[in-house]
Amino acid sequence: PPRVYRPTESGVNGMLSGMGETSIGKGENGVLIVAGGQATRLRYPYPKGMYPVTPIKKKSLFMLLSEKVRAVSLRYGADIPLLIMTNPESDILVKRYFEKNGFFGLGRKNVLFFQQELLPSVSPGGKLVIREDGLLASSPDGHGGCLKAAFKSGVAGKLKERGIRRLFYCHVDNPLVKVLDPLFLGYHLRSEADFSLKTVRKRPGEKVGTFLYADGKAAVVEYIELNEVLDEGGSSHAVEAFDSGSIGVHLIELSFMESLFFKSGGLPYHRQEKELQIEGGKRIGIWKFETFIFDAIPFAGKVSCMETSREEEFAPLKNFSGMDSPGDVRKAMSSLHRKWLTSAGIRVKKKTEVEISPLFALDESDFARKMKGRKLLLQGKSLYIE
């Protein structure tokens, strides 16, 4: 079974966090947010990062994540470049949004945008498809596209010039992400890993990739494809332990990214079946192709994996309604922050919505420290702390 580090069972967390903090202070880490997806399930007409996600202030995902980067940067006194991957359609909107909002205080030179590529979609018969508007049907090449695009766009080169050695990678749609978590970074460094991932215990049938060992190599297998792997389990594949779900949080060494870009034939393509409206208003089934960032794992010399708690770090915004919908995400944020209050000795009613700005506190212990000796006046049904 894959080795998964569980901080709850370990006594060396302080030492690891210290290693991570030193590295952040040296200014050798960047942050990459992949935001090039089409967010079809959310049915939001703008790029997903612009979605007003927080329970009280309705901060957008971009604003919240940028504030997290800024808070880490202020806390450790280091400049942290923030990379945002867009797609050719969303690029201009995202750039304008950041400009209009003064780059959320990060400074223009610290925010670097680059575009992922598009891949043509085909009909199941393998034919190119013309969309309703007469253009060739195509779609972004998956979050794995960031490896190639970061180098082709020249952004990776700029990072190297700035002395950046690795990237903290996350998805735009998880507002609970602990940006550049020092413990995770410390564990990555001590493991001398090329690639690290965070996982949570999977819920039965949950649509996340599973961390496992297949053919003696660490890998993540996407939920759609896990059954195929299991079917082959009796033959060449040795597949064990399926309860570690990857949450799209990684640390990736730039040198490893570079070797992947220049040496390997690139990441494999995965086929997704979708529907598309074509000329004349007819809807047809199409195949689109995507690469996944975690397919880099089997190429890595060393991989490290750390388990975390879902309540603290994972609430993905995926669907318009039902599971992982905006309501779910707001609830998850509010209950986490309510827990921070409770453990700092402040009681709040269950119905009170709570939102704590990342610029006030980044985690539970940071919050407890800052609240010492302070009083809070609770009014009404919601509480925002900044």
Residues that bind ligand UTP (CB under 6 A): 34-41, 48, 85, 116, 140-143, 145, 171-173, 290, 318
Q: Could you say which DSSP state residue 287 is in?
A: E
The least CB distance from residue 60 to ligand UTP, in Å, is: 14
The least CB distance from residue 37 to ligand UTP, in Å, is: 2
The least CB distance from residue 187 to ligand UTP, in Å, is: 23
- H or E element in which residue 225 lies: helix 223-231
Nearer to ligand UTP, 172 or 257 (CB): 172
Q: Which residues contact 287 (CB under 8 A, 6 or more apart)?
A: 121, 122, 123, 124, 271, 272, 273, 274
DSSP string, 17-59: HHHHHHHHHTT-EEEEEE-----TTTT-SS-GGGSB-STTT--
Look at residues 70, 69, 77 and name the one whose alpha carbon lies nearest to residue 32.
69
The least CB distance from residue 7 to ligand UTP, in Å, is: 25
The least CB distance from residue 137 to ligand UTP, in Å, is: 15
Nearer to ligand UTP, 226 or 368 (CB): 226
Helices of type H across 132-190: 145-152, 155-161, 182-190
Nearer to ligand UTP, 173 or 313 (CB): 173
Nearer to ligand UTP, 81 or 175 (CB): 175
The least CB distance from residue 138 to ligand UTP, in Å, is: 11
Give the residue at shortest CB distance from ligand UTP: 37
Nearer to ligand UTP, 15 or 320 (CB): 320
**Is-contact 330 54, C-beta < 8 A?**
yes
Nearer to ligand UTP, 173 or 253 (CB): 173
Look at residues 275, 304, 274 and name the one whose alpha carbon lies nearest to residue 290.
274
Q: Which residues contact 202 (CB under 8 A, 6 or more apart)?
A: 208, 210, 242, 243, 244, 245
Q: Could you say which DSSP state residue 136 is in?
A: B
Residue for token pair 């996407």: 222
Strands (E), 268-369: 270-277, 283-290, 303-307, 353-356
Any bridge partners for residue 60, and if so which? 52
Nearer to ligand UTP, 74 or 93 (CB): 93
Nearer to ligand UTP, 60 or 116 (CB): 116
The least CB distance from residue 50 to ligand UTP, in Å, is: 12
The least CB distance from residue 379 to ligand UTP, in Å, is: 36
**Is-contact 360 386, C-beta < 8 A?**
yes
Question: Is residue 219 classed as helix, strand or coil in its secondary structure?
Answer: strand
**How many C-beta atoms surround the C-beta of residue 152 within 10 A?**
15
Nearer to ligand UTP, 301 or 322 (CB): 322
- H or E element in which residue 213 lies: strand 210-214
Tell me how far apart the alpha carbons of residues 21 and 78 are, in angstroms, rounded to a whole number.
11
Q: Could you say which DSSP state residue 90 is in?
A: T
The least CB distance from residue 273 to ligand UTP, in Å, is: 12
The least CB distance from residue 352 to ligand UTP, in Å, is: 30
Nearer to ligand UTP, 81 or 248 (CB): 248
**How many C-beta atoms surround the C-beta of residue 101 within 10 A?**
13
- Angle (nearest 5°) at CA 348 between 60 and 317: 25
